[in-house]
Amino acid sequence: MQADLNVNLTEIGRQTKNVVEEILKQVSLKPKQIFIVGCSTSAVKGAQLGSESSEEIAAKMVANISKACSKYDVYLAVQCCEHLNRALVVEREVLLKYNLTEVAVVPALKAGGALATQAMSKFLDPVVVEAIKAHAGVDIGGVLVGMHLREVAVPLKIKNKTIGKAQIIAAGTRPKFIGGCRAIYSD
């Protein structure tokens, strides 16, 4: 895959805003539920995952994702790369509300990834947690956020399918159906 070294940051920001807002509109999260984002800025540029991380792209994306989450009053969790076992950067408020397990690590460009590094520097009171069970999420560039979604993930069909050159996969979640043929299910 040939990397696009002439990335338009304004366009990346617009695409990020459109993708996240489309997902958040579709899943209708309740206030203070969790939206997870995993992203390879290398993939956004058109390069192999982890090969050309970009702090500039990450800064633009984190700003736009944070604005969208704030608009919909949902918490943002940013997934680190596999070098940090896909730990997540969240605000301390999320750690406390959801009784999460904090870990002692600080994401860096080559160990955590550009998006997590930016989240760590831009969040008000950031902490890194080991795992989370988010209510919805987006995978930008094939970084595998599914391990951090609640148990019944529901794939979303979205109009905006890329950010830069990175493919988008999005999911919401729903409660489990239990009880068998006699059960009456809510929506």
Domains in the chain: how many in total? 1
* Mean pLDDT, residues 102-107 taken together: 96
How sure is the predictor about 180, in pLDDT bands with cuts at 50, 70 and 90?
confident
16 domain residue, yes or no: yes
Q: How far apart are CA 167 and CA 178, in angstroms?
A: 34
Does residue 121 register a pLDDT over 70? yes
Does 180 fall in a domain? no
Q: Which residue has the higher pLDDT, 98 or 183?
A: 98
CB burial of 24-63 (b: ≥16 within 10 Å; e: otherwise) equals: beebebeeebbbbbbbbbbbbbbbebbebbbeebbbbbbe
Asked if residue 1 belongs to a domain, the reply is: no
Q: Look at residue 34 and tell me if it is in a domain.
A: no
**Inside any domain, residue 87:** yes
Assigned domain for 140 exists: yes
- The residue with greater pLDDT, 117 or 1, is 117
Q: For 86-114, what is the mean pLDDT?
A: 96
Question: How confident is the model over 129-139, as a mean pLDDT?
Answer: 97
For the segment 56-96, what is each residue's pLDDT rounded down to a tens digit?
999 999 999 999 999 999 999 999 999 999 999 999 999 99
CATH of the domain at 116: 3.40.50.10360
Q: Is the pLDDT of residue 2 over 50?
A: no
The percent of residues in the chain predicted with pLDDT above 90, rounded, is 87
On whether residue 4 sits in a domain, the answer given is no
139 bridge partner residues:
38, 169
Share of the chain above pLDDT 70, in %: 96
Is the pLDDT confidence value at 163 over 90?
yes
Range of lowest pLDDT (55-59, 89-93, 120-124, 175-179): 175-179
Task: Show the domain range for 143.
Answer: 9-27+45-175
36 within a domain of the structure (yes/no): no
Mean pLDDT of 131-151: 95
Average the pLDDT over 158-177 and give the result.
94
